[in-house]
C-alpha cells in the first residue's frame, strides 16, 4: 500500500496526514458527538456549528470582509460554469468576457455560451496554452457583465499573476486548483470559487465567495437551487449538504490556521516545493520539456514530459517503486504532471527530484 504522503495526484489529491487521522477517527465517531460523521444530521447543532466554523476560518485565512458571502455548494466547479452566467449575465449588461487559457477555462466559456451570449477576450490556443495574458492588459468591454478566468490551469500547469489593480468589470475567478495556496487581495474579486478536491478536502463541496453587491442582479425566475441567494440565505443548508466533505474541509482550514500558520506561511512552503522541482527539471532540460512558458509556471501543477509516451510511462513505473503516485498527465494532453498541492510535503518533492535525477542518469 502506498502512503498518501507521496501522492502527486491532480485531484482528488493528497491531504495532510494529521487531517486523515482525524477523519479516520470521525468516521467511527466525531470526538465531540460520539456519532460517526457519516451519520450526523445536517440539521444537528454540531453540523450547523461546523459550517459556521468553516466559514469563519475561510474568512480569517483570506481576510474577507462582510461585503462577501461564503457558501458551500454541490455540483462541482462545472455546475458553476453554468450558474455564474445564469445568475450574473443579465440583459442589463454586455455579454460576459472569458479568458480561454487552457482546458478548464475553455470549458467554462463553452458552458457560458450555452446559457447566452458571451465573448472570449483572449485565447491561448494559438500559443498551445503555454502562456497567459496579464489580466490588466486585456481589452474588456466596460459594460461586460463580468470577466471570468481560471487562476490556475490544472492541466497545462499555468498560473496567473494576481491582479494588481481594481478591475474595470467584476472579476470572477475559478480558483479550484490554487485556492488557499497563497494570500490574495480578495477585494479585487467579485466572486471566487473552488471545489474542495485539491487543497480543501475530498470531492463533494465547492466554496463560493461572492461580493453581495452582485446578488442584486440575479433574475427572480431561476430555479431556487441554481439561484446563488438560496444557499447564502440558508447558510449552505437549504437542502442536505455534503456533511462529510464539509467536515473534512473544516479540518483542513484548522490545519492551515493552526499547524501551518496562515496563507503567507503556506505560500512559502509552496514556493519552496515548486522552485525545487522546476530547478530539477531545468537541470534536465536536455531530456525533459516543461509545458508552461517560464513566466507562467504554476506552483501547483507541474506538467512536463520526457517527449515520448514510453519514457513517460517508464518514469511513472520507476516512481511507483519509490511509492510515488499520481504522476499521469491529463488524458487530454498526456505527458506527466506533478501536483504540489498544500498537503504535498517538501520531503515528498525531494524524493520526486531524486527519482527524476536517478532516472535521467540511468538513461544518459
In the complex, least distance from residue 256 CB atom to ligand PMP, rounded to whole angstroms: 20
273: Cα within 13 Å, side-chain hemisphere: 27
How are beta strands 119-123 and 97-100 bridged, if at all?
parallel
Report whether 56 belongs to an annotated binding site: no
Q: Which is nearer to ligand PMP, 153 or 312 (CB)?
A: 153
Q: At what angle do helices 45-62 and 243-254 cross, to 10 degrees?
A: 40
Residues 161-180 that bind ligand PMP (CB under 6 A): 174, 176-177
Residues 258-287 that bind ligand PMP (CB under 6 A): none
Known catalytic residue: 255? no
Q: Which of 22, 23, 69, 77 binds ligand PMP (CB under 6 A)?
A: 77
Contacts with ligand PMP by CB under 6 A: the residue count is 11
The DSSP string of 38-88 is GG--TTSHHHHHHHHHHHHHHHHHHT--TTEEEEEESSHHHHHHHHHHHHH
Spatial separation of the C-alpha atoms in residues 112 and 123, rounded to whole Å: 15
Known catalytic residue: 282? no
In the complex, least distance from residue 82 CB atom to ligand PMP, rounded to whole angstroms: 10
> Is residue 148 a contact residue for ligand PMP (CB under 6 A)?
no
> Is residue 111 a contact residue for ligand PMP (CB under 6 A)?
no
In the complex, least distance from residue 55 CB atom to ligand PMP, rounded to whole angstroms: 20
The DSSP string of 98-135 is EEE-SHHHHHHHHHHHHHS--EEEEEGGGGTT-----G
Whether residue 139 contacts residue 121, with contact meaning beta carbons closer than 8 Å, is answered with: yes
- Strand residue runs (E) in the chain: 68-73, 97-100, 119-123, 147-150, 152-153, 158-159, 171-174, 191-195, 206-211, 289-290, 301-305, 336-339
> Is residue 315 a contact residue for ligand PMP (CB under 6 A)?
no
> Is residue 78 a contact residue for ligand PMP (CB under 6 A)?
yes
Report whether 33 belongs to an annotated binding site: no
Spatial separation of the C-alpha atoms in residues 94 and 43, rounded to whole Å: 41
Q: Which of 12, 76, 167, 183 binds ligand PMP (CB under 6 A)?
A: 76
Spatial separation of the C-alpha atoms in residues 307 and 192, rounded to whole Å: 36
List 122, 174, 255, 273, catalytic entry? 174
In the complex, least distance from residue 116 CB atom to ligand PMP, rounded to whole angstroms: 20
Known catalytic residue: 328? no
Report whether 197 belongs to an annotated binding site: yes
Annotated binding site for pyridoxal 5'-phosphate: 104, 154, 174, 197, 239-240
Annotated binding site: 43, 104, 154, 174, 197, 239-240
- Residues of this chain that bind ligand PMP (CB under 6 A): 11, 76-78, 104, 150, 154, 174, 176-177, 195
- The set of catalytic residues is 104, 174, 198
Amino acid at each position: 500500500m502506498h502512503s498518501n504522503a507521496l501522492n502527486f495526484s491532480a485531484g482528488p489529491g493528497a491531504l495532510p496526514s494529521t487531517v486523515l487521522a482525524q477523519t479516520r477517527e470521525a468516521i467511527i465517531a466525531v470526538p465531540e458527538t460520539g456519532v460517526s460523521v457519516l451519520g450526523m444530521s445536517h440539521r444537528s447543532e454540531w453540523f450547523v456549528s461546523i459550517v459556521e466554523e468553516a466559514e469563519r476560518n475561510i474568512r480569517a485565512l483570506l481576510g474577507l470582509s462582510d461585503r462577501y458571502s461564503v457558501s458551500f455548494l454541490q455540483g462541482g466547479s462545472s455546475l458553476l460554469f453554468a450558474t455564474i452566467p445564469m445568475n450574473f449575465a443579465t440583459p442589463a449588461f454586455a455579454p460576459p468576457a472569458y479568458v480561454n487559457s487552457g482546458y478548464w477555462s475553455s470549458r467554462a466559456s463553452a458552458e457560458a455560451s450555452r446559457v447566452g451570449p458571451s465573448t472570449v477576450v483572449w485565447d491561448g490556443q494559438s500559443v498551445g496554452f503555454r502562456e497567459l495574458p496579464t489580466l490588466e492588459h486585456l481589452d474588456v468591454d466596460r459594460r461586460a457583465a463580468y470577466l471570468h478566468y481560471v487562476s490556475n490551469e490544472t492541466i497545462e500547469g499555468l498560473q496567473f499573476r494576481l491582479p494588481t489593480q481594481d478591475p474595470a468589470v467584476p472579476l470572477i475567478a475559478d480558483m479550484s486548483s490554487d485556492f488557499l495556496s497563497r494570500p490574495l487581495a480578495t477585494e479585487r474579486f467579485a466572486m471566487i470559487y473552488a471545489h474542495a478536491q485539491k487543497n480543501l478536502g475530498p470531492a463533494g463541496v465547492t466554496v463560493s465567495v461572492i461580493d453581495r453587491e452582485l446578488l442584486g442582479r440575479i433574475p427572480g425566475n431561476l430555479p431556487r437551487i441554481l439561484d446563488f441567494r438560496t444557499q447564502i440565505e440558508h447558510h449552505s443548508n437549504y437542502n442536505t449538504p455534503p456533511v462529510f466533505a464539509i467536515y473534512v474541509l473544516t479540518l483542513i482550514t484548522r490545519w492551515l490556521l493552526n499547524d501551518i500558520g496562515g496563507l503567507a506561511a503556506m505560500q512559502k512552503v509552496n514556493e519552496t516545493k515548486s522552485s525545487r522541482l522546476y530547478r530539477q527539471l531545468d537541470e534536465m532540460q536536455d531530456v525533459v520539456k516543461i509545458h508552461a512558458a517560464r513566466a507562467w509556471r504554476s506552483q501547483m501543477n507541474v506538467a512536463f514530459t520526457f517527449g515520448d509516451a514510453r519514457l513517460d510511462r517508464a518514469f511513472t513505473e520507476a516512481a511507483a517503486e519509490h511509492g510515488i503516485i499520481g504522476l499521469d498527465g491529463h488524458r487530454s494532453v498526456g505527458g506527466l504532471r506533478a501536483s504540489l498541492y498544500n498537503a504535498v510535503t517538501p520531503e515528498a518533492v525531494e524524493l520526486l527530484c531524486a527519482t527524476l535525477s536517478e532516472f535521467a542518469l540511468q538513461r544518459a
